[in-house]
Amino acid sequence: MNKILNNSRLFFHGALLSYIALFHWLRPMTYLATKVVSPLFQILFFTLLGMYATGRENAHFYIIGNAIQVAALSGIYGVTFSISGDRWEGTLAYLFGTPANRLVLFVGRAFMHVIDGMFGIVIGLTWGALLLRLDLSKTDPVALALTIFITTLSTSGMGLLLGCMSLLTRNVMFINNTVYFLLLVFAGVNIPVSSLPLWMQPLSYALPMTRGIAAARAIIAGESLKSVAPLLNSELLLGGVYIFAGYLFFRWFEYQAKRRGTLEVM
């Protein structure tokens, strides 16, 4: 029981401190611009462009896709920097020296960003409803909340993997920006996956968000949780695969750092 309590304290306390350390240098206005204003401009840009290209009746497709994709700001950028930040701030050596449970420390890095990402999606959908008349009247709120949670969790799982990869390179932003814009193209945010070339579609289904966005669109259109359960189960499984791969990568990096006596394993 003491071990469970200690791990729980380590998980939540470590998650909170990691999040505070990551954003301690940000001013409130900077945070608001990133989490409130930036999603608004992304949604407006792609929705208005999509309406011009395909018709006003398709506005909901672009609103929902871009609102869900907002989670990548926390799931990709935030989680990646929560891992790589330990290296650049000089605290990674202390982390490797502690006897604390590595899995708890590793997964805990994403906890606050999952909550933050869900908050971002809610803001995006709110903008869509207030400014672009997104109809949420047929939506099952419980099903939508579960979809948002699973999609954000899956995206954060990929962020954990990317965070470990960033330990091997100095150009973290290149990795983050590449993946962020790949999601815009491949995850069905603004282009239906079925409209992509056949060789691109397997990559779409290997990325997080693809199934989550499809599930969110179905739920907002009035579908039940049961009807989108296969999509959500697959999204959750994919997130688990990313988390597991990231954890293996993290332990490999720790092993190499201790064997070589340096955090520069490349």
Q: Packing angle between helix 141-165 and helix 102-131, nearest 10 degrees?
A: 130
Question: For 51-74, how does the pLDDT look when each residue is reduced to its tens digit (9 = 90+)?
Answer: 988 888 889 999 999 999 988 888
pLDDT at 155: 93
Q: Is residue 151 part of a domain?
A: yes
Q: Is residue 265 part of a domain?
A: no
Q: Is residue 127 part of a domain?
A: yes
58: Cβ–Cβ under 8 A, 6 or more apart, which residues? 50, 51
3-state secondary structure 148-205: HHHHHHHHHHHHHHHHHHHHHCCCHHHHHHHHHHHHHHHCCCCCCHHHCCCCCHHHHH
Structural domain range at position 88:
2-260
d(CA 45, CA 53): 12
Q: Across the 266 residues of the chain, what is the mean pLDDT of every consecutive 10-residue run?
A: 67 67 66 78 91 88 93 85 71 69 77 87 91 90 94 92 79 82 90 90 92 95 92 94 90 78 57
pLDDT at 22: 67
Reported pTM: 0.87
d(CA 141, CA 136): 9
Q: What is the DSSP letter of 78?
A: I
Q: Is residue 20 part of a domain?
A: yes
- The structure tokens listed for 262 are 């340096």
d(CA 158, CA 174): 15
Q: Is residue 218 part of a domain?
A: yes
pLDDT at 236: 94
pLDDT at 150: 95
pLDDT at 205: 92
Question: Are 18 and 112 within 8 A, CB to CB?
Answer: yes
Total domains in the fold of the chain: 1
Q: Is residue 66 part of a domain?
A: yes
Q: Is residue 266 part of a domain?
A: no
